[in-house]
Structure 1
């Protein structure tokens, strides 16, 4: 396995865990269950930890792709989106840690805080989708727009 393969193997975890956590948190809100909400917070915290190796292997993956032509703009776009996603993932993990504590201690704002975390999760999932799509464009020409493909074809002929 090369460095790009490690990145591809690891990058799905921080994308999938917030989806799972979101579904669990929605269930915890609908059923008003403190235990289910705690499980969701744990999933979000785990997702934040999963972001670290995915992010760190990204730099190594870039070195593996340096021999490919015309992917640099796609890599730069992906790096920018990945940085935003990673920051949101870490923020969600920290807020979930606080949400777990407030839920455990039965603070008066614990339910309100769960809605805040749910909202942050939706925002983060939008960034997750953008990050995943921009990463896919690096090697998957079938998901590039026609303008992106035309630009690369023009650069090849020059």
Structure 2
């Protein structure tokens, strides 16, 4: 198993964990239930750990795929830049989550405030996960690239203009 394979295995957990964690945290805030909030915090910690694994395998994955056909270094670089921002947000969210768990266990007055801070940071994290997931998918799935769709449509329109069938011709007997 190489770094590209390992990266593909672990890179989904930060995305899914952050999205699920945010939903669970919001539920815990609405229900005013510290156990539910702690569940979200644990998910955020797992997401942060897997973000570290994803970052650790990302460089090796890049080396494996960057010279493959239809893989551009530009798109890998964009994915890497967004992933670095997401990793920082998830590490911060992991730290906030540890603090949230500790404050919940101690029934501290600031526990509620920390849950709102965690929710805000998690919202930023969810936004970044959508960008990272999309840019990562575009590396190998050329069909979801924006420029790929535009070029296919343009080529299709251009080819319709140039085909002999597109020239105006006399109506056929069956067209009358």
Give the alignment's TM-score, normalised by structure 1. Answer: 0.89
Kept in 1: contact 2:66–2:76 (CA 8 A): no
Structure 1 Cα separation of the partners of residues 6 and 38 of structure 2: 31
Match of 1:62 in 2: 62
**Aligned equivalents of 2:30 and 2:39: distance in 1?**
14
Question: Is the aligned partner of 1:74 residue 2:49?
Answer: no
Work out the number of aligned pairs and report it. Answer: 150
Query: Distance in 1 between the 2:47 and 2:148 partners?
Result: 34
List structure 1 segments (4+ residues) > 4 angstroms apart after TM superposition. Answer: 147-150
Greater RCO, CA 8 A, separation 6+: 1
Residue 23 of structure 1: CA displacement? 1.4
Q: CA RMSD in A?
A: 1.6
> 1-side partners of 2:54 and 2:16: how far apart?
13
Matches within 5 A, 1:1-158: 1-69=1-69, 70-146=71-147, 150=151
| More deviation, 2-11/54-63 | 2-11
In our comparison, the structure showing a higher alpha carbon Rg is 2
Tell me, yes or no, if the aligned pair for 2:28 and 2:37 is still in contact at 8 Å: yes
TM-score normalised per structure 2: 0.80
